[in-house]
Structure 1
Amino acid sequence: MKILQSKYTNSFFVLLTVTGLLSSCYKPKKHFLQASGNYVLALRTQGTNSTTDYLLSMDTINTASKNISATGNGIEQLAWCYFGSTGSTVFSFSYGTNNVGIGYGVREGGGLYEKGRFSFERMDCFGKGDDNTLVAIGAPWGGGSYDCQIQLIDATTMSIKKKKLTPLYMRDGSDKLNKWPTSIVVNDNKMYVSFYPLDGGSWNTDLTDTAYVTIYSYPAMDSLTTIKDTRTGPIGYYGNQVNMIKSENGDIYTLSPSSLAAGYTQVTRKSGILRIKNGQQSFDPSYFFDVETASGGAKVLSATYAGNGLLVARLQIPGSDDISKLWAAFDVTIPICKIAIIDLNNKTVTDVTDIPVHGGQYGAQGLVEDGKVYLSVTSTIAGEARIYAIDPLTATATKAAKIEGLEVPAIYKIVN
């Protein structure tokens, strides 16, 4: 097996090879009995030569003495995975010898069972359409075509029920840049897709002075318009992060990292947050939150919406953004991240000092329950990987379940 060499960092090597090299050696997968409980977690562990992904169920995650472990519990996935959820279904999307999507449900009393599976070509970005539909977008990996494939996945039949081939956006006839989707929000019969332009061969990002969102009708998926704003850079970044947030009133907030660690090869705008008011097809000219200035130089990477205008956000710490950190936001071993509470209404950033500085990761979807946000944190400084329960009102956190592995890329609670 030929191993590709990166001209940037080891993190970029992981980016380019993880969906193939870490997962291509197929072997029969073990299916353990599932523990009771309605919490469903994705667990990534590190072996001698590769990582292994599991889905497992638990009855609680908010106890510090509880261990998240695949020992005797968990369904080993076919390869390295992305994860998504809608309604009462959790999906894993395995990238290996064959790309396979598998849907899981939770039995009464707890425990996972397989609902069905389907094949796919590429799926790189996910969002909830409705309780029975997951939206997935496949990006043009490695250049080539400038079209993306929008796919609607039926959680009832475990099949792709509709596809739409689209370039997301073309500036003009000479535009030779791919558009990589970063986040999906469905609201008011419209689908909002953020993206960033890049050269699909080199991964260089030569256009970083504008935020872009293309708006489609939903579920028809007809392209309506592409909106742009030059107050900050492109929204989101690679890796199925959460980069667009829908609030209770339907307003959508967008996160622009403007970060080399997030894979941008240049930075020309401050990291910031824009708003699209409910039902509108334009950025709100009256709202811009310069997160980088308000935080003393930190950059917002991803976030979980906790309600009442509060985000529990993963930020890149000030002074950690140089070319040597290119793609570092995906590496759990490089401690450049912190957790903070972002108040969208008052435009403030408050650090959660109970959580150590830690590494980044793919996905990292949080769970909101009973006023707390549960997030995966892997810290070489603290010497452990753990779930933290974060109180957004007080900007405090307590240790929850310990992770026996690298990270937990996704946390869900399924209620049948």
Structure 2
Amino acid sequence: MKKFSTLALFSALIAFTSFSCSSDDKSGNDTGGGSDTGKTKYIITATTGATGVADYLLTADDVSTGSITTIGNGVEQDGTYRYYITAQNNFFSLLYGQGNPGAVTTYNLNTEGKLVKKSDFQAETVHVFAAVNKDILTIKVPRSGASIASMYKIDAVNSLITGEAQQDTKVLAGNGERAFFTWATQVGDKVYMPYMSIKGDGVDNFGTVNPDSTWVAVYNYPELKLEKVIKDNRTSYLGAYFTNGLFQDENGDAYGFSGAIATSNAVLTSTKPSAIVKIKKGTTEFDQSYFFNVEEKSGGYKISSTSYISKGKFLLLMYGNAGKNNGAVKLAVADVYNQTFTWVTNAPATLTSATSRYNITTEDGNAAIIGINTPEGNWIYTINGTTGVATRGMKVEGGQITAIAKLKY
């Protein structure tokens, strides 16, 4: 087994992805804000890296060309750590309060396409945030101490907390450890929540003695009552800390992505491959006839983060084993329908970081739009979901790109 320090492990998980992230609202219910002139504006968040300074929110009509800068431009966010989500045509900026409550600031676009603040309120610092119906579901998940996870429903139109539910994570795990939700995904009219099984002992919080199992808790909505836990043992847990690992496609099927990176006392203990599994529409079981061994097809790389393009095409950020492939970090496209894997070409050879977890797609749904930061500079790229070819677009100056979103006005 390969020895990992805790710092190295979490670098593998999140250092090459943006801590702040955005989500393209594909619900088709964009009725919560803006004036609906049929126009679209892109929101690019960028950080200067200065101590105590959060991201700047920049706006642009086109990200395929030109340049933009944080110098004398944009809306500065308060607080050091921010993460983002779009829902109901509103842009939400959530402050990570290091365990304390943090501000939730809502923006939309006015009739001139200018980003304006709509509301500002306090909410608990959370580890999961996802669009569900016309809400944003957020979850505060304890890693030690008390074992109760708190779930909050935020009305995405009116920016109000409308409900709360709780889950005892030790009871949910049922194996002497505790469940730590990696994310939440609306699948049909339910919410599927993949989780890690973790020790939560204050010393090796994210370690586990159950490295080779997969769990997805199924909740009804809006009541958030637990209905079932879907289990498998062909790979490890789906997603990762602050990282979505379950997506629903246009057919109603759900695909789960595992990096197979479970540890115990900073030692990588997963023996199963990094892979993709499937839950068929209308079922609450893993499809035993489907197993996409990504680690094998990539030549030994593991999935770090995933975002959906469309039509079964997913953009993957992959990282390697330092002893086998120099620990390289690379982008790839996976077609889950045909189980094909394609390395992205024409992208920078060295990535400092990338907004690879939650990206937006082009209007035709054929490509992902992603921010890539490199030692030479920071650019927005478009990556074709069929060919895997990357095309360089707008340069972002004065800060590293942390998220990309879009709103209508």
| Amino acid paired to 1:92 | S
What residue number does 1:155 align with? Answer: 156
Residue 206 of structure 1 aligns to a residue in which SS? coil
Contact 1:205–1:264 (CA under 8 A) maintained in structure 2? no
Residue 296 of structure 2 aligns to a residue in which SS? helix
Change (3 A) 1:364 1:71: farther
Contact 2:128–2:138 (CA under 8 A) maintained in structure 1? yes
For 1:267 and 1:101, the matched residues in 2 are separated by: 37
2:7 is the counterpart of 1:9: yes
Contact 1:55–1:77 (CA under 8 A) maintained in structure 2? no
Return the offset for 1:297: 0.8
What residue number does 2:383 align with? Answer: 390
What residue number does 1:245 align with? Answer: 247
What residue number does 1:30 align with? Answer: none
For 1:385 and 1:406, the matched residues in 2 are separated by: 8
* 1:333-381 superposed Cα distances (whole Å, 9 cap, x missing partner): x97321111011121111012112424467742110132211122233x
For 2:398 and 2:267, the matched residues in 1 are separated by: 28
Identify the match of residue 266 of structure 1 among 241, 265, 269. Answer: 269
- Structure with bigger RCO (C-alpha 8 Å, 6+ apart): 2
Contact 2:192–2:217 (CA under 8 A) maintained in structure 1? yes
What residue number does 2:209 align with? Answer: 206
Return the offset for 1:8: 3.8
For 1:172 and 1:306, the matched residues in 2 are separated by: 32
2:329 is the counterpart of 1:347: no
2:129 is the counterpart of 1:126: yes
Identify the match of residue 411 of structure 1 among 399, 404, 408. Answer: 404
Contact 2:129–2:136 (CA under 8 A) maintained in structure 1? yes
More moved, 360-369 vs 267-276: 360-369
What residue number does 2:93 align with? Answer: 92
For 1:363 and 1:388, the matched residues in 2 are separated by: 11
Change (3 A) 1:352 1:312: same
What residue number does 2:22 align with? Answer: none
| Amino acid paired to 1:9 | L
Return the offset for 1:105: 0.9
> Normalization by structure 2: what TM-score?
0.83
What residue number does 1:183 align with? Answer: 183
For 2:225 and 2:323, the matched residues in 1 are separated by: 38
Contact 2:318–2:329 (CA under 8 A) maintained in structure 1? yes
> Normalization by structure 1: what TM-score?
0.81
For 1:15 and 1:390, the matched residues in 2 are separated by: 22
For 2:11 and 2:384, the matched residues in 1 are separated by: 36
For 2:398 and 2:271, the matched residues in 1 are separated by: 37
Change (3 A) 1:75 1:321: farther
Contact 2:245–2:305 (CA under 8 A) maintained in structure 1? yes
Q: Which runs of 5+ in 2 are unaligned?
A: 15-38
For 2:157 and 2:71, the matched residues in 1 are separated by: 28
What residue number does 1:110 align with? Answer: 113
* 1:162-193 superposed Cα distances (whole Å, 9 cap, x missing partner): 11111356367662x33221121112211001
Change (3 A) 1:358 1:196: same
Contact 2:54–2:82 (CA under 8 A) maintained in structure 1? no
Let me know the Cα RMSD of the aligned residues.
Answer: 3.0
Return the offset for 1:75: 3.1
What residue number does 1:376 align with? Answer: 371
What residue number does 2:54 align with? Answer: 52
For 1:363 and 1:293, the matched residues in 2 are separated by: 22
For 1:271 and 1:411, the matched residues in 2 are separated by: 27
| Amino acid paired to 2:252 | G
Identify the match of residue 366 of structure 1 among 359, 365, 369. Answer: 359
2:314 is the counterpart of 1:298: no
Return the offset for 1:116: 1.1
What residue number does 1:320 align with? Answer: 322
2:212 is the counterpart of 1:219: no
| Amino acid paired to 1:122 | T
Contact 1:103–1:155 (CA under 8 A) maintained in structure 2? no
For 2:267 and 2:61, the matched residues in 1 are separated by: 40
More moved, 369-378 vs 291-300: 369-378
Q: Which runs of 5+ in 1 are unaligned?
A: 1-5, 17-35, 323-333
What residue number does 1:73 align with? Answer: 74
Residue 293 of structure 1 aligns to a residue in which SS? helix
Contact 2:236–2:261 (CA under 8 A) maintained in structure 1? no
Contact 1:179–1:198 (CA under 8 A) maintained in structure 2? yes
| Amino acid paired to 1:192 | Y
